[in-house]
Homo-oligomer: A and B are copies of this chain.
Amino acid sequence: MSRVEVDEKIRRFTVMCRKTGLRLTPQRIEIYKHLVKTDEHPSAEILYEKVKKTFPNISFDTVNRTLLTLNEIGAAFIVEGSGDVRRFDGSMEKHQHFKCVKCKRIIDFHHKPFDIIKLPASIGKKFKILKKVVYVEGICDLCK
């Protein structure tokens, strides 16, 4: 992803923050920057290591808390999965996830029909739906 694209994402991020009353701290911006720059769906730990290069004193808790906050305001997402360490995704594009059960790699793919899956009316009426995704698990090409 180009420098310009990242800058544009950060600009949009600042707008989102202002809209939701979230303060724009340099730490937050840095965490967000690293999150959107990668497509590796990092854990809090991984991002902590990256952000530490710019903010050597940052605490793990700040990184983790920030990521949870980003998830709250919809600027990032907790990746669905089957009982492993929590992984995050900064991409706003419509896409789906494939997760390798061996190497834990999460790979994006996009299949348009999955963007618009329709739930039965009974579910939508009973519950407030926040997220509906198609999630695929298996063995990736490298592990096969």
Measured CB to CB, the residues of A under 8 A from B are 78-83, 85-87, 98, 100-101, 107, 109, 111, 114, 117, 119-120, 122-123, 126-141, 144
Q: How many copies does the complex hold?
A: 2
Partner of A134, one of B79, B81, B133, B138: B133
Contact A123 B101, CB 8 Å, known A83-B86, A137-B130, A139-B128: no
Query: In the complex, how many angstroms separate the beta carbon of A119 from the nearest chain B beta carbon?
Result: 7
Query: In the complex, how many angstroms separate the beta carbon of A124 from the nearest chain B beta carbon?
Result: 9
Query: In the complex, how many angstroms separate the beta carbon of A10 from the nearest chain B beta carbon?
Result: 24
Cβ-defined contact, B128 with A136, below 8 A:
no
CA distance A120 to B82 in the complex (A): 22
CA distance A133 to B144 in the complex (A): 21
Query: In the complex, how many angstroms separate the beta carbon of A60 from the nearest chain B beta carbon?
Result: 16
